[in-house]
Amino acid sequence: MSTLITKVRQKQLSQLIEKGKRIDGRGLTDFREFKIEEGLIERAEGSARLLLGKTDVLVGVKIETGEPFPDTPNEGVLTVNAELVPLASASFEPGPPDESSIELARIVDRGIRESKAIDNEKLCIEAGKKVFVVFVDVYVLNHDGNLIDASALAAVAALINTKMPNYEIKDGEVIIKQGYTPLPLKSRPITITVGKLGDKLLLDAGLEEEQVMDARISLAINEEGNICAVQKGGSGYFTPQQIIEASKLAQEKAVELRKKLKW
């Protein structure tokens, strides 16, 4: 893979982090600049594009009607899919989703699902028969590290931006009416990924930093500061103390981002 960096560069990055510094001058818990553009895809029911440094993620939301799951007959259905689009990195290849894109989709999915972000019961059209299905498609357009936080943020921004078609039921048929209603949301979770290198924790790792990190832990945090979903990744480990520390760090950063985002 052409995105691998040299051993020398790895050493340089590691030594900086061990001193509490970073290659781009940020502090260990600083995020890169980010910008959210909403509604770029007029044809989708919702969309948002997030630039986090040079990481670029576009999320489109489509709403269609479909059948509910048998065990939740009066709830809408959420489906999250992630594409590591091959133009985003020389290391991404076209083809069916691999384990990285599946993990990414499932982390984004759990952040939304476990925080009960969508008011699923309001998506029910006819219990057991017809509900709205919300398709969240995460489209990574440029990979410069921290795809998890960028994708999760962009997905929630797209949901906030999503409009639902109005409808009425006539003779058992769903008739789509003029006009839209916002998608009913109950929560706006923010996912923060904490990287670990030796005894240091850091936030918003860039692409090169990700290659020297031992491991990462991602936490979805809701408005109350509660934890809604967690995922450890990477081939290294955390001590129990580091996990508690990481959890606090994520909660603080979520508060900070929430203010910036006015979420």
Partner 1 sequence: MIDKQEKLIDKKGIRLDGRKADELRPLKLEVGVLPNADGSAYIEHGKNKILVGVFGPREMHPKHLSRPDRMVLRCRYHMAPFSVQERKSPAPSRREVELSKVIREALEPALFLEMYPRTGIDIFVEILQADGGTRCASITAAALALADSGIPMRDLVVACAAGKVDDTVVLDLYDAEDKLGVADVPVAYMPNLNAVTLLQMDGILTHAEFEKAVNMAIDGCKKIYALQKEALKTKYMHIKEETQEEVEE
CA distance 127 to 89: 44
| Residue 226 identity (one-letter amino acid) | N
User: Which one of residues 178, 235, 259, 260 is an interface residue with partner 1 (CB under 8 A)?
Assistant: 235
Spacing of C-alpha 65 from chain mean position: 24
CA distance 136 to 82: 8
* Closer Cβ to partner 1, 41 or 153, answer by number: 41
* Closer Cβ to partner 1, 21 or 214, answer by number: 214
Q: How far is CA 260 from CA 26, 46, 143, in A?
A: 18, 21, 23
Restricting to residues 111-130, which ones interact with partner 1 according to CB under 8 A? 114-116
Q: Which stretch binds partner 1 (CB under 8 A): 24-32, 142-150, 166-174, 197-205?
A: 142-150
CA distance 34 to 42: 22
User: Which one of residues 33, 42, 171, 199 is an interface residue with partner 1 (CB under 8 A)?
Assistant: 42
User: Which one of residues 58, 131, 164, 257 is an interface residue with partner 1 (CB under 8 A)?
Assistant: 58
CA distance 149 to 143: 12
User: Which one of residues 18, 19, 24, 87 is an interface residue with partner 1 (CB under 8 A)?
Assistant: 87
- SS3 of 34, please? strand
* Closer Cβ to partner 1, 96 or 262, answer by number: 96
Phi-psi region of 46 (alpha: psi -120 to 50; beta: other; left: phi over 0): beta
Q: How far is CA 237 from CA 4, 241, 247, in A?
A: 22, 12, 15
Dihedral, 91, 95, 101, 103 alpha carbons, nearest 10:
-120
Instruction: For residue 181, state whether it binds partner 1 (rule: CB under 8 A).
Output: no
Instruction: For residue 10, state whether it binds partner 1 (rule: CB under 8 A).
Output: no
Closest CB 120 distance from partner 1, rounded Å: 14
User: Which one of residues 13, 17, 44, 124 is an interface residue with partner 1 (CB under 8 A)?
Assistant: 44
* Closer Cβ to partner 1, 61 or 190, answer by number: 61
Spell out, one character per residue from 91 to 110, where the chain touches partner 1: x when CB under 8 A holds, - when not: ---x-xx-x--xx-xx---x
CA distance 3 to 162: 35
Spell out, one character per residue from 197 to 226, where the chain touches partner 1: x when CB under 8 A holds, - when not: ------------------x-x----x--xx
Instruction: For residue 33, state whether it binds partner 1 (rule: CB under 8 A).
Output: no
CA distance 224 to 220: 12
Query: Which 8-state DSSP code applies to residue 59?
Result: E
CA distance 84 to 38: 21
- Site residues for partner 1 per CB under 8 A: 2-3, 40-44, 47, 54, 56, 58, 60-62, 64, 71-73, 81, 83, 85-90, 94, 96-97, 99, 102-103, 105-106, 110, 114-116, 135, 137, 139, 141-144, 215, 217, 222, 225-240, 243-244, 247-248, 251
